[in-house]
Structure 1
Amino acid sequence: MKLLLSCALFLSSIYQAVNSQQLTQCRSISVRREVRSIPANEWNSIQRTLTRIRDDGWLAWMARVHTDNFGVVHGNPMFFPFHRMVLYDFERVGRRYDPNFSVPYWDSARDFSRPAASSVLSPRYIGTNGAGPNNCVSNGIQGGWQVSYPTRRCLRRVYNNGNAIQPWYSPEFVESLTQRSTTLDSFRSGLEYSLHGAVHIGMGGDMGAREAPNDLAFMLHHANLDRIWWRWQKIGQNMMKYDGNGPSGRVSLDNRITVYGDTVSSVMRLGYGKMCFSYDTDPIGRNGFGKRDSLSPSGLNLTNVDASVLTKYFPLTAKEVGTRHSGMKSERILSSADGSYKMPYPFPMSESFAKMHGYNLEVAKKVRKDAVDLIDDLQKYGYRSPYYQGA
């Protein structure tokens, strides 16, 4: 029996590899860039395209698709492939109006300590908190907008702390999750219950509802989550990993993506089939860690972290650093833990948000505890996040 099972698993792995290789390699690759790197003239072009997407009813359609399928595309492995296809569909529609249209991503973890102070949440980009009795977004790329789904009304935002947003998950936590997760489902649940949920809850309004695609922030946010998933995929043997349980039992690369009908295997590898895009921090063809984004070990100064903490939370970085770092507890690092600096804890997931998504609130609490423990251990050795913006 064990031999038969081993053979079946081996043949399945061969099939998955062959299946991915049968996809046509893309002739051209568009590059998704961090939103703050988009020049003004390109941002104006995105605004014109977005307006046409709304006026022709596509944005309402995407909001409805997300709403109608909400329960089957959250809290299980379909989360990643479904949202990857949503982003593909958004770009496909946008290119009807502008052949160069590409969705940017928002590296929101960079803004973890003071999210509302991010330049992304300003009139220059996607606008600030909602205002007035209906919490309408009055500035930014969708300033003054009316949406048509589920009813005709203004686009709304309601920050979760007045005109501020409580701190969310840091680049250090996301990097630790990326390095520690050995299965797709553990990585998915960790990211979905942390940064994914925190940005939706923190911004509130449409972003905190099932019809979140009404807000461009949804696309920027999920492009970033997709970027983080792609980065995890490129580590080790993760490229074609798809595991865990869905609504119908154990999942498979042969599963059809909700709404779209494509197989999961067809969207796993960027640069093949329909997935003709990459990210500016992780170009296709390069393995390992990127060096330009907030998740890169060098960008986080992780090589200065105590060896035991590094091994516990950042095992891949610890392996790269090796014996040069063994047992390091320098007086310089220890003396900097003087209480003048404290990484903020991420806010806990609300019970209502967990219930809406069908999330296990106890799992959400465990994910947050992991983030709190990481902060405490980093703080113990005086680590200072390069992305901390002060209280």
Structure 2
Amino acid sequence: MGLLSNSLLALLVTAGLVVAGEQCSPETTAFRKDWRALNAHERTEYIEAVWCLRRQPAHLPNNEYPGVRDRLDDFVATHINYTTAIHANALLLPWHRHFTYLWETALREECGYKGYVPYWNWPATTNLTEDPLFDGSPTSISGNGAYDPNEKPRCDPPYGCEAPGTGGGCVTSGPFKDFEVHLGPFNNSHAGPHATLPESAWDYNPRCLKRSFNQPILDRTNNEAAMKRLLDAPDMDGFLDVMDPSDKSHIGTHGAGHRTIGKDMTDVYSSPQDPAFMLHHAMIDRMWTLWQERDIDNRRNALNGTDVMYNPASAPLVTLDHVLNFGCLDRPRTVREVMDTRGHDYCYSYH
């Protein structure tokens, strides 16, 4: 028996005759793929769908959000609004899982995209400028930024300083070389447990997309050994220690992926402006999903941490009943609703 129509399924769910997620079966599960596994036509379809969102009108009101100019900016603004509640804590994984799903749904329902969000395979990317995802070809998501000799090393007190990347300027090749970003930039040093957005948060600030590839960060932090440590982690505390340690004792694979791309991807608030963001977070979700599936009974609902950045001791621990907010993108969701990729609204996994 095939999938129920969306309208019939909604009626049955409302009537209590079927539990959301029960329509998911091995035959109907969608699989998200490595970008490298997509053919040229599939890659082009994804690229065109991203540009389609750029052409769709925003749902957020322009008089309140003057910098939000299109549907893609709705996603950026939503991420900005909730940044300090969804990073370096228990909500990084569940919130971004649903955020990526909402992006995928918008591509499919609003732009006619037939596929699913692909992922960026970190350890397979041994040379960023030659990788099919970033080589600057027409079937990539564009390449590096122009070289900026004045780009400074990035210094964070807990981690020390990193050498600058190999770009720093505007992206110069590929389908997104003329791609504008509209919001920010934000000062990452202001991001913290009780940070508030600046008055200029929603100003319209059009400029080019910038990147600065840094292969050594990827090689050091997002390698095969790190993937093994993620999958072998005995509990969520161990998994997050590799993925995104809230104590800032070291950089995790989440942060390292952002820094590998550089510039706009390193803005903790507005990084969804770079088309690489969703593929990076699809890989994060992939590793979490694979970890869960190794022991689904014990790991499906595993959580660790609070809903406050860096998990201060005074903040209460997150539970499955904690409510996640997505602004104009979706209704509020409980954490329970987003923990199983084959439950509730979801029916997907990863190759």
Normalised TM-score (structure 2): 0.67
Structure 1 counterpart of 2:100, which letter? L
Alignment of 1:68-147 (within 5 A): 68-95=81-108, 96-111=110-125, 114-124=127-137, 125-131=140-146, 135-147=169-181
Q: Secondary structure at the match of 2:31?
A: strand
Structure 2 counterpart of 1:78, which letter? L
210-219 or 152-161, which deviates more: 152-161
Instruction: Verify the 8 A CA contact 1:114 1:167 in the aligned structure 2.
Output: no
Instruction: Please tell me whether residue 232 in structure 1 is matched to residue 229 in structure 2.
Output: no
Structure 2 counterpart of 1:155, which letter? L
CA distance in 2, matches of 1:60, 1:217: 15
Instruction: Please tell me whether residue 50 in structure 1 is matched to residue 50 in structure 2.
Output: yes
Structure 2 counterpart of 1:208, which letter? T
Instruction: Verify the 8 A CA contact 1:184 1:243 in the aligned structure 2.
Output: yes
Q: Secondary structure at the match of 2:333?
A: coil
- Post-superposition shift, 1:26? 3.4
**Could you tell me which of 184, 197, 200 is aligned with 2:236?**
184
Q: Which residue of 1 aligns with 2:325?
A: 258
Normalised TM-score (structure 1): 0.61
Alignment of 1:142-291 (within 5 A): 142-150=176-184, 151-160=205-214, 167-168=219-220, 169-179=222-232, 181-192=233-244, 193-209=251-267, 210-236=269-295, 237-247=298-308, 248-259=315-326, 261-280=332-351
Q: Secondary structure at the match of 2:171?
A: coil
Q: Secondary structure at the match of 1:241?
A: coil
CA distance in 1, matches of 2:133, 2:274: 13
CA distance in 1, matches of 2:175, 2:280: 15
Instruction: Verify the 8 A CA contact 2:47 2:141 in the aligned structure 1.
Output: no
Change (3 A) 1:77 1:116: farther
Q: Secondary structure at the match of 1:31?
A: strand
Q: Secondary structure at the match of 1:136?
A: strand
Instruction: Verify the 8 A CA contact 2:77 2:270 in the aligned structure 1.
Output: yes
Q: Pairwise CA RMSD of aligned residues? A: 2.2
CA distance in 2, matches of 1:45, 1:99: 7
1:212-264 CA-partner distances (Å, limit 9, x unpaired):
11111110110011000001111222122123333241110111123352111
CA distance in 2, matches of 1:240, 1:120: 33
Q: Which runs of 5+ in 2 are unaligned?
A: 1-17, 57-69, 149-167, 185-204, 245-250, 309-314
Structure 2 counterpart of 1:126, which letter? I
Q: Which residue of 2 aligns with 1:29?
A: 29
Instruction: Verify the 8 A CA contact 1:60 1:214 in the aligned structure 2.
Output: yes
1:178-222 CA-partner distances (Å, limit 9, x unpaired):
21x222233123212421111111211111112111111110110
- Post-superposition shift, 1:119? 3.1
Higher helix share: 1
Q: Secondary structure at the match of 1:135?
A: strand
Instruction: Verify the 8 A CA contact 2:128 2:135 in the aligned structure 1.
Output: no
Instruction: Verify the 8 A CA contact 1:160 1:204 in the aligned structure 2.
Output: yes
Q: Percent identity?
A: 27
Count, aligned residues: 256
Q: Secondary structure at the match of 1:198?
A: helix
- Post-superposition shift, 1:22? 4.5
170-179 or 117-126, which deviates more: 117-126
Change (3 A) 1:36 1:233: same
CA distance in 1, matches of 2:48, 2:347: 23
CA distance in 2, matches of 1:120, 1:271: 28
Structure 1 counterpart of 2:290, which letter? R
